[in-house]
Copies of this chain bind each other. A is one copy, B any other.
Amino acid sequence: MAKPSHDLILKISCPDTPGLVSKIANYIASYHANVVEFNQFADAVNGKFFARLEIDTSEASVSVEDLKDGFAVLGKSIKATWHFRQLPHKTKTALLVTKTTHCLNEILWRAQVGELPIEITSVIGNRRNCQELVERAGLTFHYVDFEDQPKEDAFTEVNEILKSEEVNLVILARFMQIMPGWMCEEYAGKMINIHHSFLPAFIGANPYRQAYNRGVKLIGATCHYVTSDLDAGPIIEQHVSRVQHFHNVNDLTRMGRDCERAALAKGIRYHVYDRTIIDGNRAIVFSD
């Protein structure tokens, strides 16, 4: 038993006009590639068209490279933004961490058993708390000093590591530093954060304490793309957990960790399988 084999993913967004499905499907079919899955959504509010295709090129009459390159003519004619991803593919990914290990451990395990198609180039920490866990997993840990040098220098050091490792995805796995605007732009659509609250509630510091003080009955976590507008980037995934009056802040923190792990893992999954399309401050997510 297996899913239909697909070795190419196409995601695309453009202004909505009649006949787009037909045009895109025809292009694929004209070279004897086969659309295995076609998900499409037209946003009437903004007049936009979004689609994601899984394609089987095994019988295609041209090379995959040619198939991808040739799409540009159609793509431009419909004023589209598009992205092809050839499978199998492992996204070069760096993790940024501070003290806590739960998100880090979750991602390490999922990457190791093959649930997440990522290649972890390294883990970068502004503390050394996670170093042992990282090195036990056979990975490189970079310590970057955020206290005895200007933050700007520290971020430059982080960026140099990312550049030298040719990182395509940066995951803030409970990294307790605010990213500078220039890095948010540098990695726009390629930097994912897990926020330990059900955004937009409890923006800012100590969300679990805020949640306790407000007496909410559900707490949550939010996985989102990072933008320079703190905690306001496009949301990819959110999880919640039910709480009761007898849960104190420590309990909320403990229960929240499970939300964070789940939301982050799913958010990364959607990103690396090209299931997300950023549309302003919202994310279109073809969830599975």
Residues of chain A whose beta carbon lies under 8 Å from any beta carbon of chain B:
1-5, 16, 18-22, 25-26, 28-29, 32-45, 50-51, 56, 59, 101-102, 105, 109, 113, 115, 136-137, 198-202, 209, 212-218, 220, 234-238, 240, 244-251, 254, 258, 262, 281-285, 287-288
Q: Are A39 and B40 in contact (CB under 8 A)?
A: yes
Residue from A1, A214, A236, A246 whose CB has the most chain B CB atoms within 10 Å: A246
Residue from A26, A51, A212 whose CB has the most chain B CB atoms within 10 Å: A26
Task: Please pick, from B19, B215, B240, B285, the residue contacting A218 in the complex, using a CB distance under 8 A.
Answer: B240
Least CB distance from A210 to B in Å reads 8
Q: Are B22 and A246 in contact (CB under 8 A)?
A: no
Nearest neighbor of A4 in chain B, beta-carbon distance = B44
Q: What is the bound-complex CA distance between A115 and B101, given in angstroms? A: 12
Q: Are B59 and A34 in contact (CB under 8 A)?
A: no
Once A21-B38, A35-B21, A246-B288 are accepted as A-B contacts, the answer to whether A199 and B216 lie under 8 Å apart by CB is: yes
Least CB distance from A219 to B in Å reads 10
Q: Are B245 and A41 in contact (CB under 8 A)?
A: yes
Give 29 A-B contacts (CB < 8 Å), ordered by A residue: A2-B248, A4-B16, A18-B33, A18-B34, A19-B29, A21-B28, A21-B35, A36-B42, A37-B40, A37-B246, A38-B38, A45-B248, A115-B254, A198-B198, A199-B201, A200-B201, A200-B202, A200-B216, A214-B235, A215-B281, A216-B238, A217-B238, A240-B240, A244-B287, A244-B288, A245-B282, A245-B285, A251-B288, A258-B262
